[in-house]
Homo-oligomer: A and B are copies of this chain.
Amino acid sequence: MSVLGPLFRWEAVESHFSDRARLQAMLDVEAALVRAQARAGLVPAPAAAAVAGQCSVDGFDLDALGRAAALAGNVAVPLVAQLRARVAREDAGAARYVHRGATSQDVIDTALVLQLRGALVPIRTELDDLAAVLARLARQHRATPMAGRTWMQQAAPTTFGLEVAGWLDAVDRHRERLSAAHRRVSVLQFGGAVGNLAALGEPAMTVAAALADELGLALPAVPWHTHRDRLAELATTIGLCLGTLAKIARDIALHAQTEVAELSEPVAPGRGTSSTMPQKRNPVGSAVVLAAAARVPGLVASVLGAMVQEQQRALGGWPAEWELLPETVSLFGGALHRLTRTVAGLHVDAAAMRRNLEASRGLVFAEAVQHALQDRLGDQARQVVEAACHRARQEDRHLRDVLVADPAVSAAAAPDELARLFDPMLHLGAADALVESVLAAHARHPAAAAAGGD
């Protein structure tokens, strides 16, 4: 990882996307391929063992591979050549069985699938963790009143628990989506030069099935060299997930503003410090997530655009994916890990939430007050409350005081009755029931039952 790596990425994911990991995955495919052909009787077992025995990235010359890949147009061509040479040194007869029947793209695509499959394991566990943390937080604050805000203005009272329940509900949907995308992307690519496995002759379909079995991947109906929808679907699913993570991060950052001060990110030595301002505690976790979210939609669009791949195997769309897909997963992994740690250590200031309900001097209760007065004043209530809001703002008074001073209102409701209308606890509506509904659905979530498996 680069010096910015620890900031933006997560080691558990990155380890699947290093150069070594990429090449090892390709060698794993080559090893599986020769074993599958041995199972089909096409390759003598000792030769298969000789090939598989060389399929460790350790002895390969990565610099030479890079230079040769620049000429050949992909890294499989020189990797296969190096592998063949290494095998030949040990067992000249076995070299001919290297990469037999496959094309570069079979190896590169299947290796990418293996890398993605691996990277999604920690990601899905972390997303489960995030959901668990959110469930705890929602339960804890199901009765914590807070100003609900719309159009970035205080609107009406609600609870912090309901806000968090909304976050949780979305995260739980993403857990399902990611599970489905994980399953769908775990599919073998194997078609040979133009996708008809012509180089393998009769036993082609048997070899394909054995290869899928060796690698624990699904066997597709047909090779998908220029049909990238499964890969692209993983990217779009990540785009959807990250949209939600960034929504949560933006909410946290808004709650954490100095004048609002309802939430703060966890404190640790060196965390969120400034190079010049000694008081600073920057919401670093939110910033990392928002930065990722600023980047991933563009990557998703590129992946979708690159789907327009020509004929049997494409020209520019395919190489475009080689860095795009790992990058997409990597930024997501980093953001997810950051957000999970941030939410887990989030400091909630319920007193500040309560205090901010007073910031509008009663205006945040206007809708509730209007509803309450409608029973007594009928359709006139709306106009009365609108006028009172206007006056409260103009004269910088509390809405309650303006209403008490209004003869029409005071004729209909006693001052203490009016005062009670400004108690947030009386205007939370179905907030508690909705939190309950989300928590119940969360408890029933498939991933809750299964222990990490699909």
Contacts and interface: CB of A to CB of B under 8 A. Distances in A.
Interface in A227-269: 227-230, 232-233, 236-237, 239-240, 242-244, 246-247, 249-251, 253-254, 256-260, 268-269
Interface string A263-296: 0000011111111111111111011111111111
A149 B221 contact: no
Contact of A316 (B73, B169, B224, B287): B287
Interface in A159-180: 159, 162-163, 165-167, 169-170, 173-174, 177
A136 interface: no
A379 B154 contact: no
Q: How large is the interface on A (under 10, 10 to 19, 20 to 34, 35 or more residues)?
A: 35 or more
A324 B312 contact: no
26 contacts: A8-B319, A147-B258, A148-B194, A149-B194, A150-B194, A150-B277, A151-B282, A152-B310, A153-B282, A155-B277, A156-B193, A162-B222, A167-B227, A169-B224, A198-B428, A200-B430, A201-B429, A221-B437, A236-B239, A244-B307, A279-B389, A279-B399, A294-B306, A296-B304, A297-B300, A298-B298
A275 B99 contact: yes
Interface in A355-371: 356, 359-360, 363-364, 366-368, 370-371
Interface string A57-82: 00000100111111111111110100
Given A275-B104, A310-B250, A195 B371 contact: no
The 6 closest A-B pairs by CB, nearest first: A290-B316, A148-B194, A243-B307, A198-B429, A298-B298, A150-B313
A288 B280 CA distance: 33
Nearest to A235: B236
A196 B159 contact: yes
A110 interface: no
Contacts of A107: 275
Contact of A434 (B221, B296, B389, B441): B221
A277 B315 contact: no
Contacts of A244: 227, 229, 307
A249 B309 CA distance: 10
A316 B294 contact: yes
Interface centre among A149, A278, A281 (most CB of B within 10 A): A278
Tell which of A155, A233, A242, A302 has the most Cβ of chain B within 10 Å.
Answer: A155
Contacts of A159: 196
B366 A278 contact: yes
A21 B345 CA distance: 35
A195 B166 contact: yes
A451 interface: no
Nearest to A255: B311
